[in-house]
């Protein structure tokens, strides 16, 4: 039977927590150390009984794992005995997943390896540190759009027109937006960003500069083609891509092509809560 | 719980036998502002015997949450800045782990520590038992844009902690230069 429920079955913890034997053996030692000793079943069959109490676990060493059998019932993993270790284990898992996402990417040059992003050299990738320090300044763009990880989408142009919703950060600065004639991304809050796009309708090239001073250029429209700059956050790195589109396309057409659908901000009420 | 002064050190593992999991808490109060404010970023650098970062994989901060060897992990969020260190997992070639905080160098106003009060670094166990604390002296911070709060370092087979409170007016770039971090 197919589960068509729109909400996940949170009442089945073992489905989320079950560790396959191979995975347990391959888990990094750090992860094993970060969590309290597990108490796997001593047989390969189902274990329906209640788990030992934390006191009992603390007083007796964990038995060696003899199988990876399925454990049913309210069998809280022993890692929950120490909330800190549990939090750390979850963090390691998240970091591992992020690393995995980055490892899946094909190799790409860094910003110091390229002078220009163009139709031949279409992509570069910043390091985790480059992606997180200061401000990414895009000069020469005439319009931009952004989308946060929450799906908040907005746009602005160099003349001050805006659409959609801004994304404000803890430092009271927008995550993305114009400051004078430069488009900026606030890299301190890069983890809030999903992607951003920069359009150049001028006759001069666009330029990207990061905190280290490293720069890369994108050529202006030519031969009926304009080159957009797409900034995509993948895991903990920012990827910059040159995307060609027909020069005659309007900003709206470009937004549609790249699926930037402007979101609305809820009106602010005067009630204090 | 011991309170340290700048330059003082504490024999962490000698005085706390069996200590392996250390939680390094970095805290401060910022004067609230309705306008753009200085954003402080905690950072850990794992240094080799030469006192420089072993590599850029040996940096731990909000966008690189765990060191490559999994011994140091950033577990903070926007309200709570904590870095976990599992001492037994720290590779032998790492001689010290430096903890600093820099003001994010935003082009719209970099800011300084002038609006920051009550900066401190505290070390505690995984069970949140505070071992030691160092309050950063709050003098002449108007032009300071990065502060090294302290460092964990090896002393023979043990680990010690040194309180520093060393300010930089050159921000992350200055710290990166001193510790060989490739920006």
pLDDT tens per residue across span A110-169: 999 999 999 999 999 999 999 999 999 999 999 999 999 999 999 999 999 999 999 999
Share of chain A above pLDDT 90, in %: 55
Q: Are residues A173 and A51 in the same domain?
A: no
Residue A9, pLDDT > 70, answer no
CA–CA distance, A118 with A120 (Å, rounded to integer): 5
pLDDT tens per residue across span B44-92: 999 999 999 999 999 999 999 999 888 999 987 544 689 999 999 999 9
ipTM over 0.85? The verdict is yes
According to DSSP, the β-strands at B2-4 and B130-135 are parallel
A57 vs A195, which has greater pLDDT?
A195
What is the b/e burial string over A22-57, where b = at least 16 CB atoms within 10 angstroms of the residue's CB?
eeeeebeebbebbbbebbbbeeeeebeeebeeeeeb
Chain-centre distance of CA A249, in angstroms? 30
Q: How many CB pairs under 8 A join A and B?
A: 107
pLDDT tens per residue across span B3-42: 999 999 999 999 999 999 999 999 999 888 888 889 999 9
Whether residue B105 contacts residue B121, with contact meaning beta carbons closer than 8 Å, is answered with: no
Q: Are residues A53 and A144 in the same domain?
A: no
Q: Is A172 on the interface with B (CB under 8 A)?
A: yes
Q: What structural domains and CATH numbers belong to chain B?
A: 2-179 (2.60.60.30)
Which of B63, B66, B127 shows the shortest C-beta gap to A131?
A: B63
Q: Is A94 on the interface with B (CB under 8 A)?
A: yes
Q: What is the mean pLDDT of residues A3-23?
A: 51
Residues within 8 A of A (CB atoms), B 129-158 only: none
Show the 3-state SS of A125-186: ECCCCCCCCCEEEEECCCEEEEEECCCCEEEEECCCCEEECCCECCCCCECEEEECCEEEEE
Q: Are residues A52 and A140 in the same domain?
A: no
pLDDT tens per residue across span A159-197: 999 999 999 998 899 999 999 999 999 999 999 999 999
Q: Are residues A99 and A146 in the same domain?
A: no
- The residue assigned the tokens 């109490």 is A53
- Give pLDDT, residue A7: 60
- Give pLDDT, residue B128: 84
DSSP category for residue A235:
T
Whether residue B26 contacts residue B81, with contact meaning beta carbons closer than 8 Å, is answered with: yes
Chain B residues in contact with A34 by the CB 8 A cut-off are 70, 86
Integer-rounded Cα Rg, in Å, for chain B is: 16
- Reported pTM: 0.79
Which of A146, A153, A251, A253 is closest to A201 using CA atoms?
A251
Q: Are residues A88 and A144 in the same domain?
A: no
- Three-state DSSP class for B113? helix
Q: Are residues A129 and A251 in the same domain?
A: yes
Q: Are residues A79 and A45 in the same domain?
A: yes
Q: Is B33 on the interface with A (CB under 8 A)?
A: yes
Report CB contact under 8 Å: B33, A186.
Answer: no
B171 vs A97, which has greater pLDDT?
B171
CA–CA distance, B136 with B40 (Å, rounded to integer): 15
Whether residue A72 contacts residue A14, with contact meaning beta carbons closer than 8 Å, is answered with: yes
Query: Nearest chain B Cα to A130, which residue?
Result: B183
pLDDT tens per residue across span A82-93: 777 777 777 777
Query: Nearest chain A Cα to B111, which residue?
Result: A171
Q: Are residues A18 and A87 in the same domain?
A: yes
Q: Classify burial at B114, counting beta carbons within 10 Å of its beta carbon; exposed 0-12, middle 13-18, buried 19 or more.
A: middle
Among A89-93, A100-104, A266-270, B90-94, the range with the most confident prediction by mean pLDDT is B90-94
Residue A158 included in any domain: yes
Q: Is B34 on the interface with A (CB under 8 A)?
A: yes
Which of B23, B37, B65 shows the shortest C-beta gap to A95?
A: B65
Element (H, E) at A17: helix A13-17
Neighbours of A76 (CB within 10 A): 14
Share of chain B above pLDDT 70, in %: 97
Residue A25 included in any domain: yes
Residue A79 included in any domain: yes
Q: Are residues A160 and A247 in the same domain?
A: yes
Residue A5 included in any domain: no
Report CB contact under 8 Å: A133, B172.
Answer: yes
Report CB contact under 8 Å: B33, A172.
Answer: yes
Question: Given A49, A72, A103, which residue is the final one in a domain?
Answer: A103
Structural domains in chain A (count): 2
Residue A150 included in any domain: yes
Neighbours of B112 (CB within 10 A): 17
Which of A84, A96, A134 shows the shortest C-beta gap to B107?
A: A134
Number of residues that make up chain B: 183
Residue A1 included in any domain: no
Question: What's the distance, Cα to Cα, between the start and end of chain B in Å?
Answer: 37
Residue A146 included in any domain: yes
Chain-centre distance of CA A237, in angstroms? 8
Which of B66, B73, B104 shows the shortest C-beta gap to A188?
A: B104
Q: What is the mean pLDDT of residues A209-234?
A: 96
Residue A118 included in any domain: no
Question: Given A69, A103, A137, which residue is the final one in a domain?
Answer: A103
Residue B170, pLDDT > 80, answer yes
Residue A230, pLDDT > 90, answer yes
Write out the residue range of the structural domain in which residue A136 sits. Answer: 123-257
């Amino acid at each position: 039977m197919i589960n068509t429920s729109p909400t996940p079955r949170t009442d089945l913890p073992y489905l989320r927590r079950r560790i396959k034997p191979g995975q347990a053996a391959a888990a990094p030692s750090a992860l094993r150390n970060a969590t309290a000793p597990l108490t796997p079943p001593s047989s390969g069959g189902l274990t329906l009984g209640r788990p030992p109490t934390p006191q009992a676990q603390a007083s007796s060493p964990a038995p060696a794992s003899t199988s990876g059998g399925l454990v049913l019932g309210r069998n809280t993993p022993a890692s929950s005995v120490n909330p800190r270790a549990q939090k750390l284990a979850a963090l390691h898992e998240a970091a591992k997943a992020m690393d995995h996402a980055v490892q899946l990417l094909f190799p790409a040059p860094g910003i110091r390896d390229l002078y220009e992003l163009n139709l031949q050299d279409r992509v570069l990738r910043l390091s985790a540190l480059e992606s997180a320090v200061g401000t990414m300044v895009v000069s020469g763009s005439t319009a931009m759009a952004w989308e946060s990880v929450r799906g908040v989408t907005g746009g602005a142009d160099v003349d001050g027109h805006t659409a959609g919703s801004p994304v404000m950060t803890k430092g009271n600065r927008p995550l993305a937006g114009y400051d004078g004639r430069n488009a900026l991304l606030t890299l301190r809050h890069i983890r809030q960003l999903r992607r951003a796009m920069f359009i150049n309708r001028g006759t001069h090239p666009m330029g990207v500069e990061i905190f280290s001073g490293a720069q890369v250029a994108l050529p202006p429209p030519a031969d009926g083609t304009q080159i957009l700059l797409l900034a995509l956050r993948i895991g903990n790195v920012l990827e910059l891509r040159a995307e060609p589109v027909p020069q005659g396309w309007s900003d709206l057409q470009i937004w549609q092509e790249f699926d930037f659908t402007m979101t609305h901000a809820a009106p602010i009420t005067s009630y204090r809560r | 719980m011991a309170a340290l002064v700048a330059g003082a050190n504490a024999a962490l593992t000698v005085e706390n036998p069996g200590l392996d999991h250390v939680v390094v808490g970095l805290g401060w109060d910022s004067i609230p502002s309705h306008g753009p404010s200085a954003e402080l970023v905690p950072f850990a650098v794992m240094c080799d015997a030469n006192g420089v970062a072993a590599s850029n994989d040996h940096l731990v901060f909000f966008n690189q949450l765990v060191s490559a060897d999994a011994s140091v992990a950033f577990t903070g969020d926007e309200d709570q800045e904590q870095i976990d260190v599992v001492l037994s997992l720290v590779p032998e070639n790492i001689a010290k782990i430096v903890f600093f905080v820099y003001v994010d160098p935003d082009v719209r106003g970099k800011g300084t520590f002038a609006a920051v009060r009550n900066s401190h670094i505290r070390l505690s166990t995984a069970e949140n038992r505070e071992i030691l604390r160092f309050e950063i002296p709050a003098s002449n911070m108007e032009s300071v844009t990065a502060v090294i709060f302290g460092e964990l370092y090896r002393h023979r087979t043990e680990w010690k902690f040194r309180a520093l409170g060393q300010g930089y007016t050159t921000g992350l770039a200055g710290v990166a230069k001193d510790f060989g971090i490739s920006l």
